[in-house]
Amino acid sequence: MKLVILDRDGVINKDSVNFIKNPNEWVALPGSLEAIALLNQSGFRVAIATNQSGIARGLFDMATLNAINDKMYRSLAQMGGRIDALFYCPHAADDNCACRKPKTGMIEDIGRRFSVDLTEVYGVGDSLRDLQAFADSGCKPILVRSGKGEETLANAKLPNQSLPDLSLPLGTLIFADLNEAAQHIITED
């Protein structure tokens, strides 16, 4: 089975430092829904792994998160695409859970859910914690410059420089957006 794991905010939809707190604030990035549909049409299953600490912070509840995701599903269906699974971490950073990226719990759960070897899976994100979770799980990390991607790239150190905690994982590919990343993933298949 062919699988791609995506972060949500900043990869599929516009991100906000104030969080995406209701369906009206969820706005797809140009070309992202078409990219997911193209992945689906090329035989890929698509899963999402997203940190949603706004729940722990009391900024929105589960019903609101479900409404936000329903808007994403409906918008994607209009483009002929689908999300096969959505995993989220509702915890705050100081909860020390195993699922919040950069930890690998969500990614490993996705691997088990789909019975897939994660070394064959691309993981697409816009932040260092996304890339770390993907790489530490064995996935092939891709950084997109959308969302926090430009900032992540500007702040990242090259591997083997000082401050290794800020290094992009070895082998990280960099693309402008999800559409460009999807094109690469399909041609590499």
pTM for this entry = 0.95
C-alpha distances in Å from residue 173, one per residue of 128, 131, 135, 180: 13, 10, 12, 11
pLDDT at 156: 83
| Residue of 9, 15, 126, 177 with catalytic role | 9
Q: Quote the CATH superfamily of domain 2-156.
A: HAD superfamily/HAD-like (3.40.50.1000)
* Residue extents of the structural domains in the chain: 2-156
pLDDT at 21: 97
Cα 76 from Cα 83, distance rounded (Å) = 8
DSSP state of 29: P
**CA separation for the pair 167, 99 (Å, rounded):** 21
Residue 97 burial (10 A CB sphere; 0-12, 13-18, 19+): middle
9 carries an active-site annotation: yes
DSSP 166: G
- Which one is catalytic: 7, 15, 126, 177? 7
Per-residue pLDDT tens digits for 23-74: 999 999 999 999 999 999 999 999 999 999 999 999 999 999 999 999 999 9
**Measured in Å, how far apart are the chain's first and last C-alpha atoms?**
11
